[in-house]
Structure 1
């Protein structure tokens, strides 16, 4: 229930950031289309493609737990966008082309409002809803 409320609030916040006439991105659909094959529908790292990978995909439901109770928003967005580590050395595909388009000011937790792709913000906010209690 808490996850649904957080997702709804994130959608409202994002809708307020977008210029008039723009659609709010659907992070649940982006997750299903681009993440679930490896990370699984619930985000536990048990997707259908996970078995074929050398390294098991991250369990996205414990990101807050493994970060002393705080969701590592900036680190997660950097990983998704492709800024974390050298390209070609990790298992994560490069999603930077997916992030082209509308930008919104976003504070990833460091107190700095940074222009950030709206779909990236939406996906990070959705991942927060997957955190285990």
Structure 2
């Protein structure tokens, strides 16, 4: 790739990443789609928890359980189905299409761009802010 084209591509990626995450939108997404299982305060034990086959984990200690580093990639992979959990059945079955589309780049832990939907980027950004 020519240096000018590479610079333009990197600039476009940086611009896309800079506006990629909206924490306020992530909080609303969580309340609407996740709190039923993970609890309104993201500590587990939401109203649906007792009828699920597995315990719904709290989500406020993800960083603490990962040597103090928020596991951004793992969170996004579990939500979008690339790293399926039993309860989620792969792609989030209850929300399917809502969590797809509007692709954005989010900087990964090593500085590499990770492509995900705007919804998942916003949700992950909010989850990162509530870590204890």
TM interval, shorter chain, is 0.7 to 0.9
Matches within 5 A, 1:18-33: 26-33=25-32
Q: Is the 8 A contact 2:20 2:121 kept in 1?
A: no
Matches within 5 A, 1:114-125: 114-125=114-125
Distance 2:98 2:24 in 1: 12
Shift of 1:14: 6.8
Q: Greater Rg, structure 1 or structure 2? A: 2
- 1:126 paired to 2:118: no
Structure 1, unmatched stretches of 5+, are: 1-12
Structure 2, unmatched stretches of 5+, are: 1-15
Change (3 A) 1:24 1:60: closer
Distance 1:60 1:108 in 2: 19
Using the size of structure 1 for normalisation, the TM-score is 0.74
Matched residues, number: 113
Using the size of structure 2 for normalisation, the TM-score is 0.74
